[in-house]
Structure 1
């Protein structure tokens, strides 16, 4: 396999902008495991192999149990996620597929039980940022391990 381009070299300013979003997210106080669960789930939904591999690895580095990583595609049927995590994952799926049904009021209310307004906006930023990373990786033909030679 071969990537279409090295987007990092092609447009360093775009990369710097994405890293600013990551810096905001990482300094937000939102739980790191939650952030990575969202990133992995959205990457699964978007079919981004590069990002799936990266965020599964990042979750392992955080000490997350394999079961929680393995069951993420079926999180609704797996009792290993907290109610707060479930609400955030449901929001991640709704925002990723926003054109299908938007974010219904009942989902918004469910999320707000666990997260205040500031945290809600931060969750949206996490979801938007990983969706952007997925689209960059997929559009430029990235795959797991492709950047080892960059």
Structure 2
């Protein structure tokens, strides 16, 4: 854990209101597309786990709970391949999330792209991809600026 001071989410908003608004607009566009909000929260949780963004992880866990995502899915998304509680569509979305979040491991191949069409229309795949790209942006900002998780009191070391 870093000993450097964290920038609060509120300080970020104050320092860069146009950036904040632009990032929020991506999420609003995905929501307006009709893509299942419970699904997008699961992919945001998974990407935030991979990217070690405590702020985004806590934030999206709270939203998922409010939306009624079953607790076993929230609890097991880190081990979704082994959990046996995710639908084929959710597994496809989580596979796509991991592939796009871990681009340094290699870009998603044609077979994966084609496999996604079994579960998502072209429009849904576009908005799923935007949602994944957006949470990766948020994760990088939250990690770099050391946002504290919402509602969590930090313990000094």
TM-score range, shorter chain: over 0.9
Structure 1 unaligned blocks of 5 or more: none
Equivalent residues of 2:59, 2:150 under 8 A apart: no
C-alpha displacement of 1:147: 9.6
Equivalent residues of 1:56, 1:69 under 8 A apart: yes
C-alpha displacement of 1:63: 1.1
When residues 96 and 22 of structure 1 are mapped into structure 2, their CA distance, relative to the original with a 3 A threshold, is same
Is 1:44 equivalent to 2:49 in the alignment?
Answer: yes
SS at match of 2:33: coil
How far does the alpha carbon of each residue in 1:50-99 deviate from its partner, in whole angstroms, 9 at most, with x for none?
11111111111111121111110000011111001100100000001112
The 1-side partners of 2:26 and 2:74 are apart by: 24
After TM superposition, the structure 1 = structure 2 runs for residues 35-74 of structure 1, keeping only pairs within 5 Å, are: 35-74=40-79
C-alpha displacement of 1:116: 1.2
Output the TM-score relative to the length of structure 1.
0.92
The 2-side partners of 1:111 and 1:79 are apart by: 19
SS at match of 1:71: helix
Equivalent residues of 1:3, 1:146 under 8 A apart: no
* Matching residue of 2:146: 141
* Matching residue of 1:108: 113
Structure 2 unaligned blocks of 5 or more: none
Is 1:123 equivalent to 2:147 in the alignment?
Answer: no
The 1-side partners of 2:100 and 2:72 are apart by: 25
* Matching residue of 1:84: 89
What do you get for the CA RMSD once the two structures are aligned? 1.7
C-alpha displacement of 1:146: 7.0
The 2-side partners of 1:11 and 1:53 are apart by: 22
Which runs of at least 4 in structure 1 moved beyond 4 Å after TM superposition? none
C-alpha displacement of 1:8: 0.7
* Matching residue of 1:98: 103
When residues 19 and 74 of structure 1 are mapped into structure 2, their CA distance, relative to the original with a 3 A threshold, is same
C-alpha displacement of 1:145: 2.8
